[in-house]
Structure 1
C-alpha cells in the first residue's frame, strides 16, 4: 500500500491536534487508502473494502466517521456523479476550484480533467451578474475511448 508522505502525516497530525483529534492507526489506514486510490473516486463502502485488506479490524462505521471528519477538515472532498452515491477524493490545496470530470455513460469510468478551463467564463459571469464565484463543479457525460471502440 502506498504510504502518506512524512510531510503529509505531520501536517495532518498537526491539523487533527489543533481540532482536538489524534491520528489513530485507523485514520492513518483510511488516509493511506484514499491516497492509494487517488483518481478512483471511491465511495465509503469501496474505501472500506480497500482499507480492511491491511486493517481487517476496521468497521464501516469508522470509515464513515473518519471520512466525515476528513471532509470537515478539508482534507478530502465529497462529490456526486448523479448515481446516488457520494464519492471522495483528496482535496489538493493548490486547486482553486474543483477539477472537472468526464463520466462514461456505458462503463461508468470517471476521468479527471486537469486544469481549470472555466476561469474566463467565471470572470464574465462574475461581472455580468455581480456575483463572487467561490467554486464550481463541471461534469461531462459521454462515452470513453474504450467503450467507443467496441
Structure 2
C-alpha cells in the first residue's frame, strides 16, 4: 500500500519557492522574508518544520557553515544530488555562499586521506575568503587610498 502524500497550500508555495532557488543557498529567514514581501502568511515555525521535513525526504540539503550562522539550505533538485561531493566558499565580507565542484579539491581529499589519515566531509567543508565582487571592491578601495 502506497502512502499518500498530503500537501497543504503553504507546502506547495514553499516547494515552488524552493524550486526557484535551485542552485542557490538560503536560510529559513530568507524564506520567511520572501513570503512576507509577497504578503503571504507562513509562520517561521512552519517554515522550519517544513524545511526539516524536506531535508528528511532528501529534497533539500542542510548545511552548517559555522557556529555563528544560521543553517542554510539548498534545493536538491537536479543540480545537487544527495551524496554528490562538493565544497562551499564563503565570502567573509558579504556572506555569500558559493557551491563549488572542483576535481582539484577531490584530489586534496585523497591526499589528506592517504598522507594524513583524515577523511574530509565535502558536504560540510567551507573555505573562507573573498568573492570576486568583494575582492574587486577591496582592491578598488586600496587603489583610491594610495
RMSD (Å), alpha carbons: 3.0
**Aligned partner of residue 99 in structure 2, secondary structure:** strand
1:86–1:98: structure 2 CA closer, same or farther, 3 Å change rule? farther
Q: Which has the higher contact order (CA 8 A, sep 6+)?
A: 2
Q: 2:99 aligns with which of 112, 115, 121?
A: 112
Write out aligned runs for 1:80-91 (5 A): 80-82=64-66, 83-91=68-76
- Structure 1 residues 134 and 72: CA distance shift in structure 2, 3 A: farther
Task: Tell me the TM-score normalised to structure 1 length.
Answer: 0.69
Q: 1:143 to 1:119 in 2, by over 3 A?
A: closer
Task: Report runs of 4+ in structure 1 exceeding 6 Å deviation.
Answer: none
Gaps of 5+ in 1: 1-16
Secondary structure class of the residue paired with 1:23: coil
Higher Rg: 2
Q: What are the equivalent positions in structure 2 for 1:1-150 lying under 5 Å apart?
A: 18=3, 21-54=5-38, 56-82=40-66, 83-92=68-77, 95=81, 96-115=83-102, 117-122=104-109, 125=113, 136=122, 137-150=124-137
Sort the Cα spacing of 1:57 and 1:149 in 2 relative to 1 into closer, same or farther, 3 A. closer
